């Protein structure tokens, strides 16, 4: 059976959440039918958000070193459960000996065909990079970007989850979603892997929320199933 590489630690809790999703999505009856994964939990990687905004050192050398580590472990595909890091996707994909799945493409593909606009809940770095906007435009979907006030709540929610303060993260996310609903927003992509963790305590938000962690996990399981690496998808 093939081996999936996970370039993780960005952040650590989001990486664990992603692995849980892969396990839950795999139709396995016993340990031996699950999809083998090897995880590089590289939490020391420089801050991706701040680097894109010009406020921190370039994380690309650390990212490429992580790709090299996984390639040396003979993985057959790589998943990265961090959205912002996909700013450097072209360089990582070109550097890797094996396919690197793209979290934004998986997330945008999950939107129903009838959707014409969707909010992007992400780090400021992801928004500045623009890869979600490009993926949405490619499908004929208009991206809705948060106001400055809503973005402050989204940033605070992400930071709270990274600090292990899930309740605070949920409260700030709830406030951001309420403001978006007042603008008439009905669909949003949780385009940061900390945001689905903050959303868990909220229950039904009466808004369609696309979970980027879940969609990347689905993409991994489908990719593996198509190649006969797991029993079923």
Give the separation between CA 18 and CA 106, rounded to whole angstroms. 14
Task: Check if the beta carbon of residue 5 is closer than 8 Å to that of residue 40.
Answer: yes
Burial class of residue 225 (count of CB atoms within 10 Å of its CB; 0-12, 13-18, 19+): middle
Among candidates 73, 195, 24, 38, which has minimal Cα distance to 123?
195
Instruction: State the catalytic residues.
Output: 82, 192
Task: Check if the beta carbon of residue 43 is closer than 8 Å to that of residue 55.
Answer: no
Copy the structure tokens of residue 94. 């070109």
User: DSSP letter string over 123-146?
Assistant: -HHHHHH-HHHHHHHHTT-EEEPP
Among candidates 167, 171, 206, which has minimal Cα distance to 188?
206
């Amino acid at each position: 059976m093939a081996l999936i590489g996970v370039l993780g630690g960005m952040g650590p809790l989001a990486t664990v959440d992603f692995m849980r999703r892969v396990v839950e999505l795999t139709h396995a009856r016993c340990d031996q039918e699950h999809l083998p994964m090897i995880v590089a939990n590289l939490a020391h990687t420089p801050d991706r958000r701040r680097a894109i905004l010009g406020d921190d050192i370039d994380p690309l050398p650390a990212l490429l070193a992580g790709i090299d580590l996984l390639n040396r472990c003979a993985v057959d595909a790589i998943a990265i459960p961090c959205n912002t890091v996909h700013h450097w996707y072209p360089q990582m994909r070109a550097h890797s000996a094996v396919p690197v799945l793209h979290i934004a493409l998986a997330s945008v593909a999950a939107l129903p065909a009838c959707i014409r606009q969707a909010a992007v809940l992400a780090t400021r770095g992801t928004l500045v990079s623009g890869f979600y906007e490009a993926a949405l435009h490619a499908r004929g979907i208009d991206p809705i970007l948060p106001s400055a006030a809503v973005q402050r709540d989204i940033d605070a929610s992400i930071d709270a989850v990274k600090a292990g303060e899930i309740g605070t993260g949920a409260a700030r996310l709830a406030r951001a979603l309420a403001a978006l609903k007042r603008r008439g927003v009905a669909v949003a992509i949780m385009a940061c892997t900390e945001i689905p963790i903050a959303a868990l305590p909220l229950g039904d938000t009466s808004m369609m929320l696309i979970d980027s962690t879940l969609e990347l996990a689905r993409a991994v399981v489908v990719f593996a199933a198509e190649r006969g690496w797991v029993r079923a998808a």
